[in-house]
Structure 1
Amino acid sequence: MLTPAAYDVTGLARELRGNLRGTVGDDTRSRALYAADGSNYRDVPDVVVVPADQDDLATAVRLTAAAGAPVTLRGGGTSMAGNAIGGVVIDASRHVNRILGIDREARTAIVEPGVVLTHLLAAARPYGLAFGADPSSGSRATLGGMIANNACGAHSVAWGTTADNVRSLDVLLADGTRCTFDAGLAGSAEEVARYREGFAGRGGAEGELHRRLQGFVDRNELIIRRRFGQFTRQISGYALHRLLPGNGYDVAGLLCGSEGGFAATLQATVALTPLPAAKVLCVLGFADSISSADCVPVVLRHGPLTMESINLDLVERLPSEVRDAAVEAGLPAGQAWLLVEMGGEDEASAAVAARKMLEELRDSGSPASASLVTDPGAQSVLWRCRTDAAGLATRRADGAEAWGGWEDAAVPPERLGDYLRGLDEVLGQHGLSGASYGHFGEGCMHMRIDFDLLSRRGLATYRDFVEQATDLVVSLGGSVSGEHGDGRARSELLARMYGEDGVRLLTEMKDIWDPRRVMNPGVIVDPLPVDAGIRHDGPAKDRKLLTVFAYADDNHDFAQAQRRCVGIGKCRQTSGGVMCPSYQVTREELHSTRGRAHLLWEMLEGDLVTDGWRSTEVRDALDLCLSCKGCQSDCPVNVDMATYKAEFTHHHYARRPWARPLSHWSMGWLPVWSRIASRAPRIVNKVTKSALVKRLGGIAEQREVPAFAEQSFTDWFVARGNSQPSQDAMAGRRGAEGQGGEVPGGEVGGGKGRVVLWPDTFTNYLAPEIGRAAVEVLEAAGYEVVLPEKPVCCGLTWVSTGQLGMAKTVMERSLRALAPHLAAGTPIVGLEPSCTAALRQDAPELLEGSKLAVAAAASTYTFAEFLDQAEWKPPQVGGEALVQTHCHQHAVLGFDADRSVMAAAGIKAVVPDAGCCGLAGNFGFERDHYEVSKAVGERVLLPAVREADEQTAIVADGFSCRTQITHGTTRHPLHLAQLLADALDRDE
């Protein structure tokens, strides 16, 4: 492999800092953050640059190239083939991301390389336009990255690849020349000839480049015609055929897919496609993927907008509620499915087109079952099965790991069935399996395979497999890359695909553009072996750390848990969802779930981040993690950063209590301080208003400390005259872990039996009115409400501050208090979602092997869950409610029951796509986190509350959510229990 000559890294970093307004990082943390992308590879960069604007980007490229250093341009960092790692990484996504204009008449947009696809789509939608290439990673993929890899997406079968939709590119060459290249001329041979001559006649470096390009084409036209551009998804190598006169001398098209190896994109003019007036989705079910592939030519004759495949392996890995919703939305019986979208002037004409396609499919003898889906909501549910596939495929159904490395080969669509048959044979020869999905309309299949990338033997098998799979693809006239580019995963394979003559052409083209080999060296030309630099083949895999959490789903292995993050980057989206709230406001890689996961991995790897659990780099990366758990549900591979943060924090401060932040003592021990405060709440409330107390507690001075109630909920409950189960009544009853017998069954008190109401710290000491409302509702529903005999706590505040030893002690004591009720099968109802989630999930993971923890998790319900299954007709509240779902409820418990109960009560629930409220327990109270907390709240939630009609109820079951809303607006949110109790009172 040819590489740039050695260069002075320290000197270059100093020069970049002196000439850029953006940031330049050659520190450990910056380099660790960018050592990996969405692939299997790791290459620690020398320097990371985040330019401030387009001119800064150009300066960074010019200075880096002039120093002889490798220039690695990076967009969203989601490249799956190792296309954008190593050297000097220049990240354009944070600042060089403006949409500079949209021309409705010309149907074009001018964008900078850091523009995220979904942002462009949102800007174009009011004009009835869209960008034709739409990969499933569009919520974080940048236009610059899409141009570099010639991204395709689901609709490219109708609207073309990125290269087909680029009109011109403003670029910077390695020698510092700034110029513009167009997409070529659609005209006669004579017109194209004059067009070429015009460029060749220019002076300077630009004219010389055009003359060399045209001479290259004239010398090699025959072989280019025979080897390149044979079908739409032949993405591998350079698109040399774009330069042919018959293609209008399309230099911009050549740059697309060059993976940053020719020039740096500074700005692009792209074409926008008119959206169809209506779309219907036809879902075809098959017994297997091969039979679905065999019907592709028939479907293509009907001009579908898209034809995407998924299989049962992936559907079974979806969350159960999504899987059930997909069946309800129209997923027919089968083991494999094609999602075929048809467009039309209206829904009726789109449906007619779909029925014609189905009719011919039946006539062809296809065994497909089918459903026609017209409802947009149902279509969205079905599309989620496909868009989450890349993440879902990283784990087999039995939990074993699966990887990219052979994830996007393509063949001409009519050969797809043959390819799948041959691929099954090659997989079988090596004892491998994988979940597949992809763009069947263009013969491209994505796949994650259960390679063993952790051993020498496994890597040898990996290499043998990709070589045999390459030969199979080549024999069918296919391409080793059909979408994601070659990168490090496939560049070495180009010799098998194009032969010696073809590789010679690629090398000559590289030399025309980049003779010093500084632009993303080692990609396409001069490649490293495909099995070199594998990220997982390092010390991290052998580090078996002693952890407090069990990580049962990851083979009790913290390193395997960290391998969940494969760089998909969904946590970098800013267009909705819970994950990742801090990234959504800072837009820094450091504050994404992926960034934190990469630093944790580097901590395990140990050669860059060397301090293990004591690492300040990891500590600082985790600092702005709100522990919202949004990643656990929103991340397709279920990365659980809240748990990893708690684990790390526990070890980081082990045997160093003095080093902990003050807030760990003030808010981490809130249950203890609350119990003490309840003895003299008036005095405590006066004291906590002082600036000194806030300062000593690490609390932001802008925050108002919530007032402790003058009477706790448990005190009210006892004073009300409720009789708790006595010690005598409990004696001799057989309980869990061998203690106790049975609580008398049948109707006790209430006609439907007894229910334990969990008196969490927030409800008990800070919001007892919610507990009182819940008692009223549960009794109205026919239940006798009881409380645990002794004080209980879920331990959450100690978990979130990484004091896991104390958390376990508190949990164990509380579960022992519950033992008689658990033995009797008495349900437990939680009012605070975070505490309910802790009982449902954290307790079993921290107390592995505890029968009480397992029993409590199975017996614990949210307030809405319990009412939803109680066969009780709630009072008619009516009206509209703006509902903020607690992020722990979103991640662990779900919201369906709440919707059901509110609908039964006549409440129209409006749930804004706000994600986390931003307070997140202790996070938003902490002095150093106030600004981020406020920014998270102001992103969606607080403006939505302010804009809500006064008659609209504001509902938030979580104490943090209610507090953030109260601090940020004039509204006072309610718990669902309060809404229902108020209606009961009105009915009386």
Structure 2
Amino acid sequence: MTAAAHGPLPAPFLRAVEALIPASRRFDDPLSTLAFGTDASFYRLIPKLVIRVETEAEVVTLLQLAGEHAVPVTFRAAGTSLSGQAISDSVLIVLGDQWNGREIRNDGEQIRLQPGVIGAQANAWLAPLGRKIGPDPASINAAKIGGIVANNSSGMCCGTAQNTYHTLAGMRLVLADGTVLDSEDADSITRFRQSHAALLEQLAALGRATRADMPLSSRIRHKYRLKNTTGLSLNALVDYDDPLDILTHLMVGSEGILGFISAVTYDTVPEYPHRASALIVFPDVDTCCRAVPVLKQQPVSAVELLDRRSLRSVQDQPGMPDWVPGLSDGACALLIESRAAAETLLQEQLQGIRQALAAFAVEKQVDFSTDAAVNEQLWAIRKGTFPAVGAVRPTGTTVIIEDVTFPVEQLADGVRGLLTLFDKHGYDEAIIFGHALEGNLHFVFTQGFDDPAQVQRYEAFMGDVAKLVAEDFGGALKAEHGTGRNMAPFVELEWGRDAYQLMWKIKRLLDPAGILNPDVVLSEDPRIHLKHLKPLPAANEIVDKCIECGFCEPVCPSRGLTLTPRQRIVVWRDIQAKRRDGAGATALWNDYLYRGIDSCAATGLCAQRCPVGINTGDLVRELRAEQARHTGTADRLADHFSGALAATRVTLRGATTAQKLLGGERLQTLSKGLRQLSGERIPMWTPAMPQATSLPRHQPLSAGQRPRVVYLAACVSRTMGPSLSDPEQVPLIDKTRALLEKAGFEVVFPEDLDSLCCGQPFASKGYPEQGDRKRDQLAAALLKASRDGEDPIYCDTSPCTLRLTEGPLDKRLKLYDPVKFIREHLYSRLTFSPLDTSVAVHVTCSTQHLGESAGLLDIARRCAREVVVPEGIHCCGFAGDKGFTTPELNAHALRDLHDTVRHCDEGISTSRTCEIGLSHHGGIDYHGLVYLVDRATTAV
């Protein structure tokens, strides 16, 4: 590593960067550098400067500056990397928002992607065409294309044939000297052949020499018959003779040490719609592993091995087969999946697979099933293994997941060898699972690094693993997670001196100044894997199990504005550690108040993506409670809630009067000025601000025979009507009651409705006691109104429904959000006729938590000709009243909404407050779901 990485960054470099990159995209403060100093690995480096880049031109100039001033740089996409390849103690270059371009070609046979595209999003674009990209890493819902290519990531179904290396159709890259090459652009190729003729000739010469060296070329071909990401992709030198092809394929798996990948074109692969899965448990490891080569000859798409330890780690989880706890100690299982383009073909394949396995002794099995629920249950076993270990690890330790490859014919010996090493080094909790068809095994164990003895144990263990895999079996120490820092000291052991020196020649040829991601893949420090180990100190039981993988980040509305859930946890851990050590944490804490706490939507979508189920919003609410200083005010509001709502209506009426007198544009300007003068304490007014509405007039109960429904109108529905500019002026309460009555229901309201509240406004602000009191009061009122649970309860706002269902709700209460009630009670009572309209659908966070996302879309498609779900918007960021008090969060979360929905006629949702922000930033009017359903239905 150059001297610049250890000392301050050169002043001329910093001045040039300041002239190039706006201050809003440069970060050198302690909180930001700490937040970005972690990836999914067990290493941490704190960068001196973090730069968010938005254009290729910025990358070009930054690389030129880095080369001129000898400043090391590291590129980062999502940071889900497991081997420490996405961190730096120098300059970290992070992808911004403007790297999400795609071009679909030839009916999906190819797709060109920029590096900021999340892998799952690429597959979502291809799905209607029956295609997908080849790589399928477990992190595909968070990992970005830049990292997938740079690590040559694979996965359960990808194998070796469908990884990036083998499905690469083209690449646009930036070399260390700032030169851009687009392998699909003839002019770019011509310019590059002229400007870099010497480099191309040296690559061609390396290729010729490598192919002529029979022992070396044979070793390379052998290594890449296996699943292998250790070191650089030397197979490029034996698979291709054109130096341009060599160069682009060397970039695959190079982990940022050879250049920047600006775009990649994939040859896509089929995504077959018909699938079946089976779980076969064999009596021992030998029998299980002997079945793998047999299966490799069959039409299977995935074969996952699970040893007895991994099965034991999940055997008590909900949904597991009841016979799993009774399996023998030596049992070993294969989870098998087969896919086909047609159901008849699938059944033929399954019959062939059964016949191929008929000779093997089986202890237990779940036979092949095409039932989606059964398939989901079986794959939950496999997917639950890693988090199961993470959830039970001692606080302060980390979870390490390694992945190695054994030759398939020696898989059983490899498994036994790993089990022996677990016992030798005392890793009693370690489990083994993996992609058996390729001999690719993952093993997971917990490790502490807080004392020298633990570090020594880890060092001895990894040394034994390296010898076992690389020397004894000729396998790969890294199959798909990338070499990173973790295996850099072992690359020569695995490859031998000649291949290792060849890798260094390539590195020095393409990065002569050594500025690109030093100490990753190739390092001259034999102990680099034991340095910069990440601390995971206890911080709070809510988040202590966090493994900092980053799976949560794509759904966070504050991502790119302040902090993500992973970063909130990282910084909070550091604050707590500093406080315990007596170190100064005041400055960090003061910065954290806004960036970590105030700007968090606390909607808990992160928990849905987290492997161990952590809801960072719970931590934030707890911290808000610790800072809450107005308990008396909260008590008064809770005790006089109807008065608070009355005051809200008065305020809204005043705002509407001002809008009529001043006009929307002048009022918005005035509101912005008043907010600034108040130190941003006065809420922001926008033209989407609702008018006041009132409680519905009481109607006496009829003596008829119509079924009753208790209508719980949320406090926002009872106070906030449509905006003044909205063509739809019927309040939600009136529209909902009319729809329910059209369906033949008698609508009943709870007594003293205006005093009732689910408690969410109190709980989200750090007053859980008052929130629980209001929730309990509401539950009692609902029980009475529903005649002890005889009648269903319709709640018109999904966040309120979620709040009630997450608490200790009386089992007699039958509570429905709008989506579930419409699906279960109105489908049979109303006739749906799709309208000739285009509708944008916002699936609220609470709707996702309630499991009603698909149901909402189904209703929308019954009502409208076109249904649009904006990409990448998982949470609107309005978060109750955050849209009023922290409007920048709402604006940031919806920054791309307008371009997506501007051609739509209207938007729908199930939360009135969300609809305010959506209408303002989307440029179309958003309404409650019932408005659309009412227009599209008639009574049966």
The interval holding the TM-score normalised by the smaller chain is 0.7 to 0.9
Q: 1:170 to 1:701 in 2, by over 3 A?
A: closer
SS in 1 for 2:390: coil
User: Following superposition of structure 1 onto structure 2, how do residues 64-463 of structure 1 map, counting pairs within 5 Å?
Assistant: 64-91=66-93, 93-94=95-96, 97=99, 99=101, 104=106, 110-121=112-123, 130-157=132-159, 159-167=161-169, 169-175=171-177, 203-208=197-202, 210-211=204-205, 222-223=215-216, 225-226=218-219, 229-230=222-223, 231-244=225-238, 250-261=246-257, 263-267=258-262, 270-275=265-270, 279-286=274-281, 290=285, 292-308=288-304, 312=311, 336-343=333-340, 346-365=342-361, 369=365, 371-372=367-368, 381=376, 385=380, 392-393=387-388, 395-396=390-391, 403-429=398-424, 430-434=426-430, 436-453=432-449, 456-463=452-459
Q: Counterpart of 2:9 in structure 1: which amino acid?
A: V
Query: Matches of 1:822 and 1:638 in 2, distance apart?
Result: 32
SS in 1 for 2:690: coil
Q: 1:671 to 1:248 in 2, by over 3 A?
A: farther
Query: Matches of 1:120 and 1:871 in 2, distance apart?
Result: 34
Give the superposed CA RMSD: 5.4
Give the equivalent residue in structure 2 for 1:797. Answer: 761
Q: 1:819 to 1:466 in 2, by over 3 A?
A: farther
Give the equivalent residue in structure 2 for 1:533. Answer: 532
Cα deviations by residue, 1:173-228 (Å, 9 ceiling, x for unpaired): 4455666789xxxxxxxxxxxxxxx999985454356546755776x652563477
The gaps in structure 2 that reach 5 residues or longer are: 185-191, 325-330, 659-666, 676-680, 721-730
Identity %: 19
Give the equivalent residue in structure 2 for 1:54. Answer: 56
1:876 and 2:876 are equivalent in the alignment? no
Name the count of aligned residue pairs.
Answer: 866
The gaps in structure 1 that reach 5 residues or longer are: 183-197, 328-333, 544-556, 573-578, 658-663, 723-748, 845-853, 948-953
Give the equivalent residue in structure 1 for 2:9. Answer: 9
Q: Counterpart of 1:36 in structure 2: which amino acid?
A: T
Deviation at 1:244, TM superposition (A): 3.7
**8 Å CA contact 1:166, 1:269 repeated in 2:** yes
Query: Matches of 1:54 and 1:872 in 2, distance apart?
Result: 54
Query: Matches of 2:167 and 2:459 in 1, distance apart?
Result: 35
Q: Counterpart of 2:613 in structure 1: which amino acid?
A: N
Query: Matches of 1:796 and 1:962 in 2, distance apart?
Result: 18
Give the equivalent residue in structure 2 for 1:887. Answer: 844
Q: 1:752 to 1:526 in 2, by over 3 A?
A: farther
- Give the counterpart of 1:637 among 612, 615, 621: 612
**8 Å CA contact 1:902, 1:909 repeated in 2:** no
Q: 1:636 to 1:780 in 2, by over 3 A?
A: farther
1:833 and 2:787 are equivalent in the alignment? no
Deviation at 1:922, TM superposition (A): 0.9
Q: 1:154 to 1:898 in 2, by over 3 A?
A: closer
Query: Matches of 2:854 and 2:74 in 1, distance apart?
Result: 49
1:678 and 2:679 are equivalent in the alignment? no
**8 Å CA contact 2:561, 2:889 repeated in 1:** no
Deviation at 1:80, TM superposition (A): 1.0
Deviation at 1:422, TM superposition (A): 2.9
**8 Å CA contact 1:490, 1:530 repeated in 2:** yes
Q: 1:121 to 1:386 in 2, by over 3 A?
A: farther
**8 Å CA contact 2:40, 2:81 repeated in 1:** yes
Give the equivalent residue in structure 1 for 2:725. Answer: none
Give the equivalent residue in structure 1 for 2:723. Answer: none
Deviation at 1:618, TM superposition (A): 5.5
**8 Å CA contact 2:519, 2:528 repeated in 1:** no
1:580 and 2:556 are equivalent in the alignment? yes
Deviation at 1:298, TM superposition (A): 0.9
Give the equivalent residue in structure 2 for 1:923. Answer: 882
**8 Å CA contact 2:305, 2:434 repeated in 1:** yes
Give the equivalent residue in structure 2 for 1:575. Answer: none
Cα deviations by residue, 1:366-387 (Å, 9 ceiling, x for unpaired): 5674544557x66985797489
Give the equivalent residue in structure 2 for 1:481. Answer: 478
SS in 2 for 1:259: coil
Deviation at 1:408, TM superposition (A): 1.6
Q: 1:69 to 1:873 in 2, by over 3 A?
A: closer
Deviation at 1:84, TM superposition (A): 1.5
Query: Matches of 1:111 and 1:816 in 2, distance apart?
Result: 53
User: Following superposition of structure 1 onto structure 2, how do residues 393-792 of structure 1 map, counting pairs within 5 Å?
Assistant: 393=388, 395-396=390-391, 403-429=398-424, 430-434=426-430, 436-453=432-449, 456-474=452-470, 475-494=472-491, 496-498=493-495, 506-507=503-504, 509-524=506-521, 525-527=523-525, 528-537=527-536, 540-541=537-538, 557-558=540-541, 561=543, 563-564=545-546, 566-572=548-554, 579-583=555-559, 588=560, 590=562, 592-606=564-578, 610-611=585-586, 614-617=589-592, 619-620=594-595, 624-651=599-626, 675-676=643-644, 678=646, 685-686=653-654, 689-690=657-658, 691=667, 695=674, 698-710=682-694, 712=695, 720=700, 760-766=714-720, 769=733, 773=737, 787=751, 791-792=755-756
Deviation at 1:482, TM superposition (A): 0.5
**8 Å CA contact 2:390, 2:545 repeated in 1:** no
SS in 2 for 1:561: coil
TM-score, normalization: structure 2? 0.76
Query: Matches of 1:63 and 1:867 in 2, distance apart?
Result: 57
Range that drifts further, 606-615 or 41-50: 606-615
Q: Counterpart of 1:878 in structure 2: which amino acid?
A: T
Query: Matches of 1:292 and 1:8 in 2, distance apart?
Result: 56
Query: Matches of 1:750 and 1:468 in 2, distance apart?
Result: 80
Deviation at 1:163, TM superposition (A): 1.9
Deviation at 1:521, TM superposition (A): 1.3
Deviation at 1:42, TM superposition (A): 1.0
**8 Å CA contact 2:739, 2:934 repeated in 1:** no
- Give the counterpart of 1:808 among 769, 773, 785: 769
Deviation at 1:266, TM superposition (A): 4.1
Q: 1:913 to 1:680 in 2, by over 3 A?
A: closer
Cα deviations by residue, 1:399-422 (Å, 9 ceiling, x for unpaired): 989854343222122323332333
Query: Matches of 1:680 and 1:511 in 2, distance apart?
Result: 67
Range that drifts further, 418-427 or 401-410: 401-410
Q: Counterpart of 1:233 in structure 2: which amino acid?
A: K
Query: Matches of 1:435 and 1:939 in 2, distance apart?
Result: 47
**8 Å CA contact 1:98, 1:115 repeated in 2:** yes
Q: 1:837 to 1:508 in 2, by over 3 A?
A: same
Range that drifts further, 633-642 or 243-252: 243-252
Query: Matches of 1:809 and 1:971 in 2, distance apart?
Result: 31
Cα deviations by residue, 1:513-552 (Å, 9 ceiling, x for unpaired): 4454332111232244433322225xx43x5xxxxxxxxx
Give the equivalent residue in structure 2 for 1:330. Answer: none
Cα deviations by residue, 1:109-145 (Å, 9 ceiling, x for unpaired): 5554444434544566677654332323334433332
**8 Å CA contact 2:203, 2:247 repeated in 1:** no
Query: Matches of 1:83 and 1:340 in 2, distance apart?
Result: 32
Q: 1:371 to 1:3 in 2, by over 3 A?
A: farther
Deviation at 1:568, TM superposition (A): 3.4
Range that drifts further, 269-278 or 862-871: 862-871
Deviation at 1:876, TM superposition (A): 0.9
Deviation at 1:702, TM superposition (A): 1.5
